[in-house]
């Protein structure tokens, strides 16, 4: 039975993504956000359980990518579609530009599957972090409606996030090989600062967390490269 546990968690990720998409089309972003969080939890624990139980399989890897394509590919595209549909420039065709995120998420996942450099960390922004950022926008909109209703800003964010997904920027994974402070100091600092930001700012903290994630990743790899050279 234990060999089915990781795949069951992956399927739970997929189901959560489907539920999030349904509510995103309805404009209920609260349920969408909870669904994304659940997908993220299931996505983390499917890989964790596979390593813990020593039951990694090719079908598990493929299933994981397919589930991620729904939860962290199609879902953020739907959210951006809805935001563009409500933006300050009314056009029946404009919202479909939101699915550029879905296309680049697919490219990101396909690239990840064949890129041997990404066995431990990422090259390019990972799809769950991109999805968290996109899903945070409707909540930020409540406090800054004029800003998030800007069509130009939304299109700019669509292109920016799509570019980050397939970029060559190295991003560290939050899967810890050990809990040693010295070897994971930057990762721990990122998690602590992110937790404080989210506690005070809620969803409005996500853009800051994204910038922090990229900045600390650059610092992490720069530090590791310096240590290797010495």
Lowest mean per-residue pLDDT among 10-14, 145-149, 180-184, 200-204:
180-184
Checking if the pLDDT of 115 tops 90, the result is no
Q: Would you state the pLDDT for residue 182?
A: 65
Give the Cα separation of 47 and 53 in Å (integer). 10
CA nearest neighbour of 133 among 85, 205, 40, 201: 205
Checking if the pLDDT of 177 tops 60, the result is no
Token pair in block for residue 78: 């739907």
At residue 142 the predicted structure's pLDDT band, cuts being 50, 70 and 90, is confident
Residue that is written with structure tokens 């909109």 in the block: 141
What does the pLDDT average to over 66-90? 94
> Cβ(46)–Cβ(9) under 8 Å?
yes
Give the Cα separation of 44 and 226 in Å (integer). 30
Angle of the 127-143 helix axis to the 29-53 helix axis, nearest 10? 160
Give the Cα separation of 141 and 37 in Å (integer). 19
Q: Would you state the pLDDT for residue 165?
A: 96
Give the Cα separation of 10 and 160 in Å (integer). 28
Measure the CA dihedral 73/77/78/79, to 10°: 110
> Cβ(199)–Cβ(209) under 8 Å?
no
Q: State the pTM of this model.
A: 0.90
Checking if the pLDDT of 68 tops 80, the result is yes
What does the pLDDT average to over 202-228? 85
26 Cβ partners below 8 Å, 6+ apart? Answer: none
Checking if the pLDDT of 229 tops 60, the result is no
Lowest mean per-residue pLDDT among 37-51, 76-90, 196-210, 215-229:
215-229
């Amino acid at each position: 039975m234990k060999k089915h546990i990781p795949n069951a968690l992956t399927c739970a990720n997929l189901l959560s993504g489907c539920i999030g998409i349904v509510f995103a089309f309805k404009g209920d972003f609260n349920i969408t956000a909870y669904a994304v969080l659940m997908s993220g939890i299931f996505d983390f624990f499917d890989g964790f359980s596979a390593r813990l139980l020593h039951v990694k399989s090719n079908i598990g890897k493929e299933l994981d990518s397919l589930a991620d394509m729904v939860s962290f590919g199609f879902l953020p595209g739907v959210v951006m579609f809805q935001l563009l549909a409500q933006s300050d420039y009314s056009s029946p065709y404009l919202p479909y530009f939101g699915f550029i995120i879905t296309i680049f998420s697919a490219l990101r996942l396909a690239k990840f599957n064949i890129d041997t450099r990404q066995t431990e960390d990422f090259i390019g922004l990972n799809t769950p972090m991109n999805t968290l950022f996109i899903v945070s926008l409707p909540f930020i909109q409540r406090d800054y409606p004029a800003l998030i209703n800007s069509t130009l800003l939304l299109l700019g964010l669509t292109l920016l996030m799509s570019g980050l997904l397939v970029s060559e920027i190295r991003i560290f994974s939050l899967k810890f090989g050990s809990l040693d402070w010295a070897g994971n100091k930057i990762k721990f600092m990122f998690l602590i600062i992110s937790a404080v930001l989210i506690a005070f700012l809620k969803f409005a903290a996500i853009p800051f967390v994204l910038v922090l994630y990229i900045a600390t990743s650059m610092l992490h790899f720069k530090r590791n490269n310096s240590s290797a050279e010495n």
